[in-house]
Amino acid sequence: MACNERTVHRAAIALVVAAASTGCATSGFPWPARGPAATAIRKDVTTVNPSYRRSTSQVLVRRVNRPTRASLDYAAYHANFMNADPAPEGRPAGEKGKPPSTANPFGGALVANSLTGSVARTALSPEERAHPLALPPLVELLVSKKIAGSDRLEDVVARVRSESWGLPGGPQFVRQTATEAFLHDPGQGRPVEMWLKIELAPWFTGFPSPPDEDGDGFPEIYGRVADSAIGPTQDIVKFVRSEYEGRVFTPAEVKAWAHQLASYWYPSYNTDLVAAPAAWPAADTEPAVREELGNLSFAAPAVVMRGKPQGKPVYNVFLVGNGPETKSAGAAASPSAPASNPATAAPATEKESQAAPPAPVLKLGKSKPSPKPAEVKKTVKAELAAHGRSWTAWAAQVASFQAALKQRLQAMPAGSKAVAGSDGFLFFQQSLSYMVGGDLAKQKGDRNPIPAIVAFKQLLAKHGVDFLFVPVPTKEEVFPDKTGAAPVDASLAPFTGKVVNPFARKFLLDLADQGVETVDLLPAFLAERQAGAGKSEALYQAQDTHWTTRGLELAAKLIAKRIPRYPWYKGIAAHRRTFTTKDESFTRHGDLYSRLPEAERTKLAPETRVGHQVVNPDGSLYEDDPESPVVILGDSFTGVYELMDCEHAGVSAHLAKQIGYPVDLVMSYGGGPNVREKLLRRGVDKLRSKKLVIWMMTARDLYDHAEGWQPLDKP
């Protein structure tokens, strides 16, 4: 019987049981790969759906008994199908015929004679093997906290990824990744060592019979980080033990962690948070996912995350604390988390309440919607008249810019989601595609957003609710001159301050012709960019898809100007509050950083940003109010700064500050087009209690959205 057939795979937890290499020779593998069975899994994290398989599953359910940041990150990253990237296209034809060169593995970042295919052959003790650390999020956190040595550890990870073994092909062929780290104390006063687990990509077949102790299809190598590569580790060790592994998260921090993860994964995996039900799977969970789970039901999940990394829906579900075990689908599940569970089943987009009492529930009475699309229609028609009086003529005036964007798109390596521009700006592939996508109204079938937006407006009108549609301009529209390759593409400079996507303007006119009122942010953003050219903060984060405090506050002011003109606003004004702000900073790489080719990442340091947290009159931090008559319906542009990063400083908080009254926020990270369902699932009575729905979403999702614009189940 072959080695792989003798692999023992603990289906009950679908994690590591290192029995595959016991007594199994791995002929041709360059490092020792035999050792007694040993585990290397985090002891406070378990996989509780026994059918989980990394290569084929659609659902991963993990329990985190002690919710530290280390355990939550490990639960999210360890052997997760979400980060199992498909084989790259165009692999070199000569790879199979040429043996890998192991003369200087990983450029000396790991000690060569420490490399092994079995964790049992490392210096790690059983207790140290029980505390693996998910390396990608740990490095990101260390860098953001400016912990000494983090930059060198980041370089070690990059050197592992860039190892080509002397085989043909460029840096886009990532054959292995450092996925986990272990801390080893050698004793006798010697410095703590760091050991890494490196996973080989399943498509990489350069090494014959590579060891795969956990049987997940990703062979592994373990090795010690060289002292010369990482330098002193004491600051990293102190941070890991005291903060990363030592501090237990509150329920609010668990929610914030989940929001950060969903936002960070979204550009690659189309992730979104689902309101956690009393028991999961819920009635609306996809049949294929329910079938995979069989009769299992999980009570009071803390986090339910849905994604579509490769076209089909997948779920990551996190249970926090020593809660009830799984039940069969026919058994009665606990309607709420037990007292020992430190995370509740609150909806994913709602934060735990602070000290401030909720605003009084206003009963503003019935009113008739009063859309005013004429102002935007007049503006766009004047623009068209100034550019040749036809969309074709206007498009011809920006044809060279469009051609430059198309060239950048075509030159992107396969699998890449981001491209580097000038002055440290990064741009998202989907945004570039939107910019060159042409007339949005001519998209076929469910790709055309106009019928869905108009239908939603009509539905709200039926229930007496006003409606504003707010497309958020893309970074490329505001910074067209930065889209060229570094250092600077001088040919793009003349487009600064100009409309470079005329069909985005036509889209606003098409909506206005259907009676839909929009808040047109682009002219103000272009003017603000010109006026604030010397300011320290741009309107958009350089490394991220999202706006900055400056951008979101400008949007809030523009929306707030419209609201007092509604007849019902006087009822809100009578209860006006005075909000203040305070600064709160955060440091991190943006969500586009990890989507760059490897060679581009090393050029970028994390960004430090400052949010303006909104403060209630009593000094507590602002919270969105689900009972407010004004609701923002939005995507991740409404979540940044509010539900992640510094928090309490997003566009909803600043709109509340502008109008003097809390607003409601219904948010879906990747579901701008289909977030409508989240609002409608609250029921007709809740919908009728609203006076205004502000649907805010990134303009890029108006073009070829992955899930289309689905029809509504009308209440």
Q: How confident is the model at residue 549 (pLDDT cuts 50, 70, 90)?
A: very high
- What is the phi/psi pair of residue 697, to 5°? -155, 155
Q: What is the pLDDT of residue 95?
A: 67
Neighbours of 83 (CB within 10 A): 19
Q: What is the pLDDT of residue 439?
A: 97
Q: Of the given ranges (78-87, 379-388, 570-579), which has the lowest mean pLDDT? A: 78-87
Name which of 55, 14, 181, 163 is nearest 102 in CA terms. Answer: 163
Q: How confident is the model at residue 16 (pLDDT cuts 50, 70, 90)?
A: very low
The pLDDT of residue 8 is above 60: no
Burial pattern 288-319, b for ≥16 Cβ within 10 A else e, equals: ebbebbeebbbbbbbbbbbbebeeebbbbbbb
DSSP H helices in 320-373: none
CA–CA distance, 626 with 621 (Å, rounded to integer): 16
The pLDDT of residue 342 is above 60: no
486 within 8 A of 421, measured Cβ to Cβ: yes
> What pLDDT digit, counting tens, does each position of 484-529 carry?
988 888 999 999 999 999 999 999 999 999 999 999 999 999 999 9
- pLDDT (mean) for 411-420: 86
- pLDDT (mean) for 36-48: 92
DSSP H helices in 518-617: 522-531, 549-562, 569-573, 598-601
Residue 394: which H helix or E strand, with range? helix 391-397
> What pLDDT digit, counting tens, does each position of 598-620 carry?
778 878 888 999 999 999 999 99
Q: Which residue has the higher pLDDT, 672 or 572?
A: 572
DSSP 470-491: EEEPPHHHH-GGGSSSSS--GG
Q: Of the given ranges (48-57, 90-99, 334-343, 478-487), which has the lowest mean pLDDT? A: 334-343
The pLDDT of residue 1 is above 90: no
Q: What is the pLDDT of residue 94?
A: 58
Domain ranges for the chain, please list them: 4-41+78-244, 374-702
- pLDDT (mean) for 114-122: 96
Which positions ≥6 away from 46 have C-beta within 8 Å? 13, 15, 62, 63, 65
Q: Of the given ranges (9-18, 368-377, 407-416, 570-579), which has the lowest mean pLDDT? A: 9-18
The pLDDT of residue 696 is above 60: yes
CA–CA distance, 548 with 231 (Å, rounded to integer): 35
CA–CA distance, 400 with 406 (Å, rounded to integer): 10
Using a cut of 0.85, tell me whether the model's pTM lies above it.
no
Q: What is the pLDDT of residue 359?
A: 55
Instruction: Tell which phi-psi region holds residue 177, choosing left (phi > 0), alpha (psi between -120 and 50) or beta.
Output: beta
Mean pLDDT, the chain, whole residue set: 88
CA–CA distance, 640 with 662 (Å, rounded to integer): 18
Q: Of the given ranges (166-170, 328-332, 343-347, 502-506), which has the lowest mean pLDDT? A: 343-347
Tokens of 392: 């074709």
Q: What percent of the chain has pLDDT over 90?
A: 71
